[in-house]
């Protein structure tokens, strides 16, 4: 569809909400999960699948093996924001974008300059002792050997990311729903909209400017007022340059 239509939507609105998935960060060198080259299709040296390793029960029972995988596959400290992240930061700076809702845990939206970021699945940049709650940053996890332990009480430090078998933060979900329900424009990018409950957020939007940007089709394409099949970063470059 004509990019000028999308651009006009953005120019005429000051109540935009963005919801993004792994496809927003692939152009920053962070692999997604379910594509042919994604994390879940990699052949691992052990007999566990990535889904098993990234579960709460695996973390509890096999904490060292969890961290071996987590450090090698889930942390990309040198990744930088791409054109999509930067474009969204520009929209917030202009007073148009009210919230970024993300399934990503990499912190690139904040690095680009977005302030109101609702992280549905948490962040690698936050880590807490399971015993006393002491906070630890990403460097602490990277530099720890095997299982990171709290320097205050000796408890195991866990990343503040939502693992399989864990619930999403109810307050973040509630805030996300409120932003979406009140949005004039709802932009969804870089997600196949196949993972629930996050994918179900699209149903809370009642407006007439639903924008879907993804490299492949989604179950909600028929509901969209504008669809773009391709790179979200390249699209944002065309919009903001």
Note the helical H segments in the chain: 3-12, 50-53, 56-61, 63-73, 83-93, 108-112, 138-143, 170-182, 232-240
Q: Is a pLDDT exceeding 90 seen at residue 138?
A: yes
Whether 160 shows a pLDDT value over 90: the answer reads: yes
Q: Classify strands 135-136 and 157-161 as parallel, antiparallel or unpaired.
A: unpaired
Cα 72 from Cα 67, distance rounded (Å):
8
Contact yes or no for 19/204 (Cβ under 8 A) = no
Name the DSSP letter for residue 38: S
Q: Indicate the domain borders of the chain.
A: 1-28+81-121+167-241
What is the predicted pLDDT for the residue at 240? 83
Say how many C-beta atoms besides its own lie within 10 A of residue 15's C-beta.
Answer: 16
Indicate whether 34 pLDDT > 60. Answer: no
Cβ atoms of 43 and 49 within 8 Å: the answer is no
pTM exceeds cut of 0.85: yes
**Mean pLDDT, residues 39-65 taken together:** 82
- Which pLDDT value is given to residue 122? 97
**Is position 62 annotated as part of the catalytic site?**
no
Q: Is the pLDDT of residue 193 over 90?
A: no
Distance of alpha carbon 212 from its chain centroid, rounded?
A: 16
Which tokens sit at 151? 């320097």
Lowest mean pLDDT among 41-45, 66-70, 211-215: 41-45
Mind listing the pLDDT tens digit for each residue in 7-29?
999 999 999 999 999 999 999 99
Q: Which of 62, 85, 109, 121 is catalytic?
A: 121
Label residue 241 by pLDDT band (50, 70, 90): confident
Pairing, β 210-214 against β 185-189: parallel
CATH number of the domain located at residue range(s) 1-28+81-121+167-241 in this protein: 3.40.50.1220
Site of tokens 């939502």: 162
The count of other CB atoms within 10 Å of the CB of residue 154 is 10
Tokens of 179: 């932003």
Quote the CA–CA distance of 42 and 6 in Å, as a whole number. Answer: 36
- Mean pLDDT score of the chain, rounded to an integer? 92
How confident is the model at residue 42, as a pLDDT? Answer: 55
- Residue 198 pLDDT > 80, yes or no? no
Q: pLDDT higher for 2 or 57?
A: 57
Kindly state the DSSP code that residue 149 receives in the 8-state scheme: B
The first and second tokens of residue 32, run together, are 């997604």
Tell me what the mean pLDDT of segment 50-54 comes to: 92
pLDDT tens-digit map of 68-122: 999 999 999 999 999 999 999 999 999 999 999 999 999 999 999 999 999 999 9
- Does the pLDDT at position 2 exceed 90? no
Query: 37 pLDDT exceeds 60?
Result: no
């Amino acid at each position: 569809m004509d990019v000028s239509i999308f651009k006009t939507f953005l120019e005429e609105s000051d109540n935009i909400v963005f919801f993004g998935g792994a496809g927003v960060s692939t152009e920053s060198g962070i692999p997604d999960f379910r594509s042919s080259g994604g994390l879940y299709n990699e052949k691992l040296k052990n007999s566990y699948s990535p889904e098993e390793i990234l579960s709460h029960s695996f973390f509890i029972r096999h904490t060292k093996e969890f961290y071996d995988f987590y450090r090698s596959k889930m942390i990309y400290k040198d990744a930088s924001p791409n054109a999509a992240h930067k474009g969204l930061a520009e929209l917030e700076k202009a007073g148009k974008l009210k919230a970024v809702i993300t399934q990503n845990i990499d912190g690139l939206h904040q690095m680009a300059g977005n302030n109101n970021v609702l992280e549905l699945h948490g962040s690698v940049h936050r880590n807490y002792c399971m015993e006393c709650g002491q906070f630890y940053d990403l460097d602490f996890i990277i530099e720890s050997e095997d299982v990171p332990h709290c320097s205050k009480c000796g408890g195991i430090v866990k990343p503040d990311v939502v693992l399989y078998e864990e619930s999403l933060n109810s307050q973040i979900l509630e805030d996300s729903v409120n932003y979406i329900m009140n949005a004039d424009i709802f932009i969804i990018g870089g997600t196949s909209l196949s993972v629930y409950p996050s994918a179900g957020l699209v149903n809370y939007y009642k407006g007439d400017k639903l924008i879907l940007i993804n490299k492949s089709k989604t179950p909600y394409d028929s509901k969209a007022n504008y669809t773009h099949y391709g790179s979200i970063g390249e699209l944002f470059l065309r919009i903001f340059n």
